[in-house]
Amino acid sequence: MNFDQLKEQWNNEDSNVHIPDTIEQLKESKHPIEKIQKNMKKEFPAQVLAIILIGFFPLQFKFPASQYLIYYTSYAMMVVISSYYLYGFYKFYKQADLYTGNTKNSLWKIFHELKLNMERYQSFGFLLLPHFLLTIGLVIYNTLEEKGKTLSELTNAHQYSLILTVLIGTLFVVISIILWTKYIYGRQAKQLESILNEIDE
Protein backbone atom coordinates (compact mmCIF):
# COMPACT_ATOMS: atom_id res chain seq x y z
CA MET A 1 0.00 0.00 0.00
CA ASN A 2 1.49 3.33 -0.99
CA PHE A 3 1.42 6.57 0.99
CA ASP A 4 -1.61 8.07 -0.86
CA GLN A 5 -3.75 4.95 -0.34
CA LEU A 6 -2.86 4.81 3.35
CA LYS A 7 -3.78 8.49 3.73
CA GLU A 8 -7.11 8.01 1.93
CA GLN A 9 -8.02 4.97 4.05
CA TRP A 10 -7.12 6.80 7.27
CA ASN A 11 -9.14 9.90 6.34
CA ASN A 12 -12.19 7.80 5.42
CA GLU A 13 -12.34 6.49 8.98
CA ASP A 14 -14.18 8.40 11.74
CA SER A 15 -11.20 10.26 13.10
CA ASN A 16 -10.17 13.85 13.63
CA VAL A 17 -6.56 12.98 12.83
CA HIS A 18 -5.43 14.24 9.43
CA ILE A 19 -2.27 12.96 7.78
CA PRO A 20 -0.42 15.91 6.23
CA ASP A 21 0.91 15.76 2.68
CA THR A 22 4.41 15.21 4.05
CA ILE A 23 6.04 14.30 0.75
CA GLU A 24 4.51 17.30 -0.99
CA GLN A 25 5.51 19.64 1.83
CA LEU A 26 9.10 18.43 1.64
CA LYS A 27 9.08 19.07 -2.10
CA GLU A 28 7.64 22.56 -1.56
CA SER A 29 10.57 23.35 0.72
CA LYS A 30 12.85 23.27 -2.32
CA HIS A 31 11.31 26.56 -3.45
CA PRO A 32 12.53 28.73 -0.51
CA ILE A 33 15.93 26.99 -0.66
CA GLU A 34 16.24 27.89 -4.34
CA LYS A 35 15.47 31.52 -3.45
CA ILE A 36 18.19 31.43 -0.77
CA GLN A 37 20.67 30.13 -3.34
CA LYS A 38 19.74 32.88 -5.83
CA ASN A 39 20.31 35.54 -3.15
CA MET A 40 23.65 33.97 -2.23
CA LYS A 41 24.75 33.88 -5.88
CA LYS A 42 24.18 37.62 -6.12
CA GLU A 43 25.72 38.47 -2.75
CA PHE A 44 28.93 36.46 -2.88
CA PRO A 45 30.61 38.31 -5.81
CA ALA A 46 29.27 41.65 -4.51
CA GLN A 47 30.88 41.06 -1.10
CA VAL A 48 34.22 40.00 -2.62
CA LEU A 49 34.21 43.11 -4.84
CA ALA A 50 33.33 45.35 -1.87
CA ILE A 51 36.26 43.97 0.18
CA ILE A 52 38.66 44.62 -2.73
CA LEU A 53 37.36 48.19 -3.21
CA ILE A 54 37.76 48.95 0.52
CA GLY A 55 41.49 48.40 0.00
CA PHE A 56 41.57 51.53 -2.19
CA PHE A 57 40.03 53.85 0.45
CA PRO A 58 43.39 55.47 1.37
CA LEU A 59 43.82 56.57 -2.27
CA GLN A 60 40.20 57.69 -2.57
CA PHE A 61 40.31 59.75 0.64
CA LYS A 62 43.91 60.87 0.01
CA PHE A 63 45.37 59.57 3.26
CA PRO A 64 49.00 60.59 3.83
CA ALA A 65 51.54 57.77 3.39
CA SER A 66 52.28 57.86 7.14
CA GLN A 67 48.74 56.51 7.81
CA TYR A 68 48.98 53.59 5.38
CA LEU A 69 50.44 51.25 8.00
CA ILE A 70 47.58 51.99 10.42
CA TYR A 71 44.93 51.55 7.75
CA TYR A 72 46.31 48.41 6.11
CA THR A 73 46.94 46.66 9.43
CA SER A 74 43.23 47.06 10.17
CA TYR A 75 42.39 46.12 6.56
CA ALA A 76 44.47 42.92 6.78
CA MET A 77 42.54 41.85 9.90
CA MET A 78 39.28 42.59 8.10
CA VAL A 79 40.37 40.46 5.11
CA VAL A 80 41.20 37.51 7.42
CA ILE A 81 37.79 37.77 9.13
CA SER A 82 36.07 38.16 5.74
CA SER A 83 37.85 35.10 4.34
CA TYR A 84 36.62 32.98 7.24
CA TYR A 85 33.08 34.25 6.78
CA LEU A 86 33.10 33.84 2.98
CA TYR A 87 34.35 30.27 3.35
CA GLY A 88 31.40 29.51 5.67
CA PHE A 89 29.08 31.29 3.22
CA TYR A 90 30.33 29.14 0.32
CA LYS A 91 30.14 25.96 2.41
CA PHE A 92 26.50 26.65 3.28
CA TYR A 93 25.73 27.35 -0.40
CA LYS A 94 27.13 23.95 -1.39
CA GLN A 95 25.12 22.23 1.38
CA ALA A 96 21.92 23.88 0.15
CA ASP A 97 22.79 22.75 -3.38
CA LEU A 98 22.95 19.11 -2.24
CA TYR A 99 19.55 19.28 -0.51
CA THR A 100 16.98 17.08 -2.30
CA GLY A 101 13.93 17.48 -0.03
CA ASN A 102 13.51 13.74 0.41
CA THR A 103 13.53 13.62 4.20
CA LYS A 104 12.33 15.71 7.08
CA ASN A 105 15.72 15.40 8.80
CA SER A 106 17.54 16.93 5.84
CA LEU A 107 15.03 19.80 5.86
CA TRP A 108 15.65 20.38 9.59
CA LYS A 109 19.38 20.35 8.94
CA ILE A 110 19.20 22.95 6.17
CA PHE A 111 16.87 25.09 8.33
CA HIS A 112 19.33 25.09 11.26
CA GLU A 113 22.23 25.78 8.89
CA LEU A 114 20.29 28.74 7.49
CA LYS A 115 19.67 30.15 10.98
CA LEU A 116 23.35 29.69 11.80
CA ASN A 117 24.35 31.38 8.56
CA MET A 118 22.06 34.34 9.36
CA GLU A 119 23.77 34.74 12.74
CA ARG A 120 27.18 34.48 11.07
CA TYR A 121 26.10 37.06 8.47
CA GLN A 122 25.15 39.54 11.19
CA SER A 123 28.34 38.87 13.18
CA PHE A 124 30.39 39.47 10.06
CA GLY A 125 28.74 42.87 9.60
CA PHE A 126 29.35 43.78 13.24
CA LEU A 127 33.02 42.76 13.02
CA LEU A 128 33.53 45.19 10.11
CA LEU A 129 32.44 48.14 12.27
CA PRO A 130 35.82 48.75 13.97
CA HIS A 131 37.54 49.04 10.59
CA PHE A 132 34.98 51.54 9.32
CA LEU A 133 35.18 53.52 12.56
CA LEU A 134 38.97 53.68 12.11
CA THR A 135 38.49 54.87 8.53
CA ILE A 136 36.02 57.56 9.61
CA GLY A 137 38.41 58.61 12.38
CA LEU A 138 41.27 59.03 9.90
CA VAL A 139 39.03 61.01 7.53
CA ILE A 140 37.98 63.37 10.36
CA TYR A 141 41.58 63.72 11.57
CA ASN A 142 42.86 64.56 8.06
CA THR A 143 40.01 67.00 7.42
CA LEU A 144 40.83 68.88 10.63
CA GLU A 145 44.53 68.85 9.82
CA GLU A 146 43.86 70.42 6.41
CA LYS A 147 42.10 73.25 8.23
CA GLY A 148 45.05 73.59 10.61
CA LYS A 149 43.16 72.20 13.60
CA THR A 150 43.48 69.21 15.94
CA LEU A 151 40.93 67.16 17.88
CA SER A 152 42.13 68.74 21.14
CA GLU A 153 41.25 72.19 19.79
CA LEU A 154 37.61 71.28 19.29
CA THR A 155 35.19 72.78 21.79
CA ASN A 156 33.44 70.47 24.24
CA ALA A 157 30.19 70.92 22.34
CA HIS A 158 31.84 69.81 19.07
CA GLN A 159 33.48 66.82 20.76
CA TYR A 160 30.18 65.70 22.29
CA SER A 161 28.45 66.17 18.93
CA LEU A 162 31.13 64.05 17.25
CA ILE A 163 30.80 61.26 19.83
CA LEU A 164 26.99 61.35 19.55
CA THR A 165 27.18 61.23 15.74
CA VAL A 166 29.48 58.19 15.87
CA LEU A 167 27.16 56.43 18.36
CA ILE A 168 24.04 57.15 16.27
CA GLY A 169 25.87 56.09 13.10
CA THR A 170 27.01 52.83 14.72
CA LEU A 171 23.50 52.09 16.00
CA PHE A 172 22.09 52.81 12.54
CA VAL A 173 24.58 50.40 10.92
CA VAL A 174 23.80 47.65 13.47
CA ILE A 175 20.03 48.00 12.89
CA SER A 176 20.57 48.10 9.12
CA ILE A 177 22.58 44.85 9.22
CA ILE A 178 19.84 43.10 11.25
CA LEU A 179 17.05 44.35 8.96
CA TRP A 180 19.02 43.51 5.80
CA THR A 181 19.62 39.95 7.04
CA LYS A 182 15.91 39.52 7.72
CA TYR A 183 15.06 40.99 4.31
CA ILE A 184 17.45 38.69 2.42
CA TYR A 185 16.93 35.42 4.33
CA GLY A 186 14.19 35.95 6.93
CA ARG A 187 11.23 35.24 4.65
CA GLN A 188 12.71 31.94 3.42
CA ALA A 189 13.57 30.93 7.00
CA LYS A 190 9.94 31.51 8.03
CA GLN A 191 8.69 29.47 5.06
CA LEU A 192 10.92 26.54 5.99
CA GLU A 193 9.87 26.79 9.64
CA SER A 194 6.20 26.85 8.62
CA ILE A 195 6.62 23.72 6.49
CA LEU A 196 8.41 21.91 9.33
CA ASN A 197 5.70 22.90 11.83
CA GLU A 198 2.99 21.59 9.49
CA ILE A 199 4.85 18.30 9.12
CA ASP A 200 5.17 17.99 12.91
CA GLU A 201 1.44 18.57 13.31
Query: What was the pLDDT predicted at 138?
Result: 92
Inter-residue contact 185 to 33 (CB < 8 Å): no
Q: How far is the C-alpha of 24 from the C-alpha of 22, rounded, in Å? A: 5
Q: Which parts of the chain register pLDDT below 70? A: 1-30, 97-103, 201
pLDDT in tens, 55-86: 999 999 999 999 999 999 999 999 999 999 98
Sign of CA dihedral 39, 24, 14, 201: negative
pTM: predicted TM-score of the whole model, two decimal places: 0.73
Query: What was the pLDDT predicted at 90?
Result: 87
How would you write 79-108 as a 3-class SS string?
HHHHHHHHHHHHHHHHHHHHCCCCCHHHHH
Report in angstroms the alpha-carbon separations of 104 from 19, 32, 55, 95.
Answer: 15, 15, 44, 15
Q: State the greatest distance between any 2 C-alpha atoms of the chain, in Å, as a whole number.
A: 88
Query: What was the pLDDT predicted at 8?
Result: 60
